[in-house]
């Protein structure tokens, strides 16, 4: 890495230390031993220009009047290629908002014009050339650095790239980013050391570098890093910029040494541009507006003080006026030059707005996601091992509590309670696990999906398929233990009916949890999941039998999947013309299963319908969770 950094600084020096870069030398190529990780060589650097860009959101709710709030107010700017650009400003100034608008992450509520090398930005084409690195590192924690990189290469490089080339590209990037020594380390390993904050940040960049983007957007890349990691991170970004990329990052308040590393800064205050131009030219700007930046004072600190209004609103207004809300290009290091250099490039690659966003076929996306899902399942202590453990322990506890209750005519009601407890176990354990774990996965999904790793359909198909074997295994173990410990009728048909019903409950509950987890955060989901399950328990016929349910509430039994599940398991145990049960006492009220079935209003010949109803619930909830997920991905933008 040092060699690369030195190479960059030498080049910088050759350029007189200013920001004019010889693009053609490097664009699209980081070479090592003849291996280039650019699959589609390009000599078209990207200049982003934006004019009169406003961004507004609508605030309020159904109970409150909805009002439009404007966050960016007709800002203008120009981000030339080959430069490391900082969007600065106090908290709440609109830095992330501007980054989101320019990257195409925010699409609703945006007004104004964004152009790429002089032509209006075509979003699909632009997204193919750019990437977005979020502030928090959304990495797959159970995978090693190498596995994360392999997944990225398998998804982001064209399918005809050989494994040998992929390995060379990965090695090249990891070496450049100083991550080669950590390649076999898990991101968050509790036993050995995971990755440090700086390493995670570099890995986030490495994952996106695989497709060699021409534009990189980074939201607060230095947040949470110590000063030397911050410096290393910015040095790396500068190298990438020098190779011809346009690197735009938001930064809160850089130290003087970090501030000097930026080629260009864009200062925002309350959604308006105070200054745009070279980092080195900011002092000249202060002189021009007759502000006195105290001697030995970091200009970055001073400009933030001004932007916060510490020196008065009149100074803010004066700066906005001077910068013409971003239109003034006087303070660019290469004010005249860059306008010519960026009118050069072929615009073809920026115009192709057709076709898929992803680099590989749907089949390949599914294959890679299944492989990644398999590795994760093998290592996941919560979703795999805890889940199996809980099923075994709960089954043993229920088995002990209701030992041999199935063949005891005096314990038919106890046995009925057991059947209901089994359904509750399947419902809550599966649903809650999904509600609690999916929001973490959701944040990774948002990032990877926006960066075009895969389509939502393929992601959804993969998580559906991956969960099936583990659901079958844990449900089978649970059913086998409980069924035989509690001495339910030893009959293959009944056992299969019992198992199939239980498994369908697992699938339905999981889809229900996914629908909630896809929309709500952990807190709301944890509250809503059980709360919405209670009415379904009520309408299942437990506690109040279906026969005694008031007529005006009977509709509820049709929307409760637990009603069909209870009918299924009760039918499996007491249906199929089961003969009278042995009675250890003088009198057993429910010795005759038919009498019991009549009293709980369960029809024993409905198994086929119960299965169809449960499959329908599964299908509907699964479809609903997909729709919610799609909506959520759209609504966050
Ligand atoms: N979806 C939204 N709904 C309502 N207000 C929003 C929304 N998004 C942003 N804002 C508001 O817009 C302003 C700018 O937000 P933004 O996140 O861009 O600021 P920032 O400069 O990046 O701040 P920070 O440095 O603290 O991250 C803030 O006041 C924020 O509350």
Higher pLDDT, 374 or 343: 374
Q: Is the CB of 162 under 6 A from ligand 1?
A: no
pLDDT reported for residue 334: 66
Average pLDDT over residues 363-376: 95
- Given a cut of 60, whether residue 38 has pLDDT beyond it is no
pTM to 2 decimal places: 0.81
- Identify the residue whose C-alpha is closest to ligand 1 atom 29: 92
Give the Cβ contact number of residue 162 at 10 Å: 9
Pocket test for ligand 1, best of 94, 267, 300 (most atoms within 8 A of CB): 94
Q: Measure the CA–CA gap between 150 and 170, rounded to whole angstroms.
A: 7
Per-residue HEC secondary structure of 318-349 comes to: HHHHHHHHHCCCCCCCCCCHHHHHCCCCCCHH
Nearest CA to ligand 1 atom 16: 94
* Residue 73 confidence class, pLDDT cut points 50, 70, 90: very high
Q: What's the full length of the chain, in residues?
A: 637
The average pLDDT across 165-194 equals: 81
Around 429, how many Cα atoms within 13 Å sit in the side-chain half-sphere?
27
Q: How far apart are CA 272 and CA 92, in angstroms?
A: 12
Please give the pLDDT value at position 352: 61
CB atoms closer than 10 angstroms to residue 378 = 10
Q: Is the CB of 59 under 6 A from ligand 1?
A: yes
Q: Return the pLDDT at 20.
A: 30
Provide the pLDDT confidence category of residue 546 given band limits of 50, 70 and 90. Answer: low
Lowest-confidence region among 60-64, 564-568, 610-614: 60-64
Mean pLDDT lowest for which of 122-126, 271-275, 432-436, 614-618? Answer: 122-126
Sequence-distant (6+) residues with CB within 8 A of 8 are 235, 238, 239, 242, 243
How much distance in Å is there from the Cα of 482 to the middle of ligand 1? 53
Average pLDDT (430-448) is: 90
Residue 8: predicted pLDDT: 37
Cα of 271 vs centre of ligand 1, distance in Å, is 10
| Cα 485 to averaged position of ligand 1 atoms, centre (Å) | 58
Q: Give the span between the Cα atoms of 497 and 212, in whole angstroms.
A: 54
Residue-level pLDDT at 500: 97
| Whole-angstrom distance, CA of residue 550 vs CA of residue 623 | 32
pLDDT classification of 17: cutoffs 50, 70, 90: very low
Name the closest-CA residue to atom 8, ligand 1. 97
Domain ranges of the chain: 2-137+144-155+165-343, 382-635
Q: What is the mean pLDDT of the chain?
A: 84
* Pairing of the two strands 48-59 and 110-116: antiparallel
Residue 272 CB less than 6 A away from ligand 1 = no
Q: Which of 96, 271, 637 for mutating ligand 1's site (highest number of atoms within 8 Å of CB)?
A: 96
Q: Which atom from ligand 1 is nearest to the alpha carbon of 100?
A: 18
> Does ligand 1 lie within 6 Å of residue 252's CB atom?
yes
- Predicted confidence at residue 9, as pLDDT, reads 37
For the Cβ of 508 lying below 6 angstroms from any atom of ligand 1, the answer is no
Q: Could you report the per-residue pLDDT of 561-603, keeping only the tens digit for each?
A: 999 999 999 999 998 889 998 888 888 888 899 999 988 888 8
Answer whether residue 632 shows pLDDT above 50: yes
Specify the range with the lowest mean pLDDT, choosing from 123-132, 339-348, 445-454, 489-498: 339-348
Structure tokens at 182: 């950590």
Q: Average of pLDDT values for 382-407?
A: 92
If one residue of 93, 217, 252, 266 were mutated to test the ligand 1 pocket, choosing by the most ligand atoms within 8 A of its CB, it would be: 93
| Mean pLDDT of the 446-475 span | 94
Q: Look at 81 and 499; give whichever has higher pLDDT.
A: 499
How does residue 32 score in pLDDT terms, banded at 50, 70 and 90?
very low
> What Cα–Cα distance (Å) separates residue 247 from each residue in 123, 221, 242, 344?
18, 11, 10, 19
Angle at 523 between CA 517 and CA 524, to 5 degrees: 65
What pLDDT was estimated at residue 381?
A: 80
Closest by CA position to 263, among listed 291, 286, 240: 240
With a cut of 70, say whether residue 337 has pLDDT above it: no
Cβ neighbours of residue 290 under 8 Å, at least 6 residues apart? none
CA of 169 from ligand 1 middle (Å) equals 37
- Per 3-state DSSP, what percentage of the chain is helix, strand, and coil (rounded to 5)? 55, 10, 30
Tokens 């699409």, located at residue: 107
pLDDT in tens, 248-287: 999 987 888 888 899 999 999 999 999 999 888 888 888 8
Given a contact cutoff of 8 angstroms between Cβ atoms, the answer to whether 629 and 518 are in contact is yes
**What pLDDT does 253 receive?**
79
In this prediction, residue 358 carries a pLDDT of 84
For residue 92, report the phi and psi dihedrals to the nearest 5 degrees: 85, 5
Q: Of 30, 25, 20, 27, nearest to 41 (Cα)?
A: 27
The CATH classification number of 2-137+144-155+165-343 equals 3.40.50.300
User: Which tokens belong to 205?
Assistant: 């960049």
Round to whole Å and give the CA distance between 375 and 142.
8
Q: Sorting pLDDT into bands at 50, 70 and 90, what band is 22?
A: very low
pLDDT tens-digit readout, 94-127: 999 999 999 999 988 899 999 988 888 888 888 8
Confidence band of 224 (pLDDT split at 50, 70, 90): confident
Nearest CA to ligand 1 atom 28: 92
Given a cut of 80, whether residue 39 has pLDDT beyond it is no
Atom 1, ligand 1: residue with shortest CA distance: 57
Count Cα neighbours of 158 within 13 Å in the Cβ-side half-sphere: 7
């Amino acid at each position: 890495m040092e060699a690369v950094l030195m190479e960059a600084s030498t080049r910088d020096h050759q350029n007189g230390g200013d920001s004019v870069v010889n693009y053609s030398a490097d664009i699209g190529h980081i070479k090592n031993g003849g291996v280039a990780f650019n699959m589609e060589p390009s000599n078209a650097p990207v200049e982003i220009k934006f004019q009169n860009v406003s961004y507004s959101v609508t605030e309020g709710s159904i109970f409150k009047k909805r009002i439009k709030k404007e966050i960016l107010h007709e800002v203008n700017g120009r981000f030339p290629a080959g430069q490391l650009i900082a969007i600065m400003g106090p908290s709440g100034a609109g830095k992330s908002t501007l980054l989101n608008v320019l990257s195409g992450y925010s699409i609703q509520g945006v007004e104004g014009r964004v152009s790429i090398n002089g032509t209006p930005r075509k979003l699909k084409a632009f997204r193919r050339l750019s990437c977005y690195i979020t502030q928090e590192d959304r990495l797959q924690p159970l995978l090693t650095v190498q596995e994360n990189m392999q997944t990225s290469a398998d998804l982001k490089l064209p399918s005809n790239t050989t494994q040998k080339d992929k390995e060379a590209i990965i090695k090249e990037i990891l070496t450049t980013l100083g991550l080669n020594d950590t390649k076999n380390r898990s991101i968050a390993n509790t036993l050995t050391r995971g990755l440090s904050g700086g390493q995670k940040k570099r890995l986030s960049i490495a994952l996106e570098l695989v497709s060699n983007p021409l534009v990189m957007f980074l939201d607060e890349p230095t947040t949470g890093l110590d000063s030397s990691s911050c410096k290393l991170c910015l040095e790396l970004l500068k190298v990438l910029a020098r190779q011809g990329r346009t690197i735009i990052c938001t930064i809160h308040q850089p130290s003087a040494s970090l501030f000097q590393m930026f080629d260009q800064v864009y200062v925002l205050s309350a959604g308006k541009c105070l200054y745009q131009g070279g980092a080195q030219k900011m002092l000249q700007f202060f002189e021009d507006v007759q502000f006195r930046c105290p001697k030995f004072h970091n200009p970055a600190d001073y400009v933030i003080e001004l932007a916060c209004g510490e020196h008065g609103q009149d100074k803010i207004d004066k700066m906005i006026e001077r910068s013409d809300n971003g239109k003034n290009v006087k303070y660019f290091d290469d004010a005249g030059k860059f306008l010519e250099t960026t009118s050069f490039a072929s615009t073809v690659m920026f115009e192709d707005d057709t076709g898929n966003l992803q680099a590989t076929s749907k089949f390949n996306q599914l294959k890679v996601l299944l492989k990644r899902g398999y590795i994760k399942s093998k290592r996941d202590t919560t979703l795999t091992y805890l889940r199996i453990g809980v099923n075994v322990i709960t089954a043993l506890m229920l088995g002990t509590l209701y030992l041999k209750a199935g063949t005891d005519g005096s314990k038919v009601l106890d046995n009925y309670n057991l059947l209901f407890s089994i359904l509750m176990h399947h419902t809550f354990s599966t649903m809650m696990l999904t509600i609690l774990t999916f929001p973490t996965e959701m944040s990774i999904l948002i990032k990877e999906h926006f960066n075009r790793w895969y389509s939502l359909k393929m992601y959804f198909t993969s998580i559906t398929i991956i969960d099936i074997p583990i659901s079958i295994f844990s449900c089978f173990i649970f059913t086998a233990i409980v069924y035989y410990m509690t001495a339910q009728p030893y009959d293959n048909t009944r056992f299969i009916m019992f198992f199939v019903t239980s498994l369908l409950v697992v699938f339905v509950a999981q889809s229900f949890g996914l629908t909630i987890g896809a929309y709500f955060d952990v807190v709301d989901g944890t509250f809503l999941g059980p709360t919405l399950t209670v009415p379904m328990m009520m309408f299942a016929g437990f506690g109040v039998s279906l026969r005694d349910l008031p007529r005006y509430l009977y509709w509820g039994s049709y929307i409760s999947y637990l009603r069909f599940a209870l009918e299924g398991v009760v039918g499996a145990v007491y249906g199929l013309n089961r003969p009278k049960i042995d009675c250890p006492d003088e009198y057993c009220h429910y010795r005759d299963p038919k009498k019991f079935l009549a009293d709980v209003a369960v029809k024993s010949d409905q198994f086929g319908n119960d299965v169809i109803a449960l499959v329908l619930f599964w299908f509907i909830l699964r479809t609903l969770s997909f729709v919610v997920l799609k909506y959520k991905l759209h609504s966050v933008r």
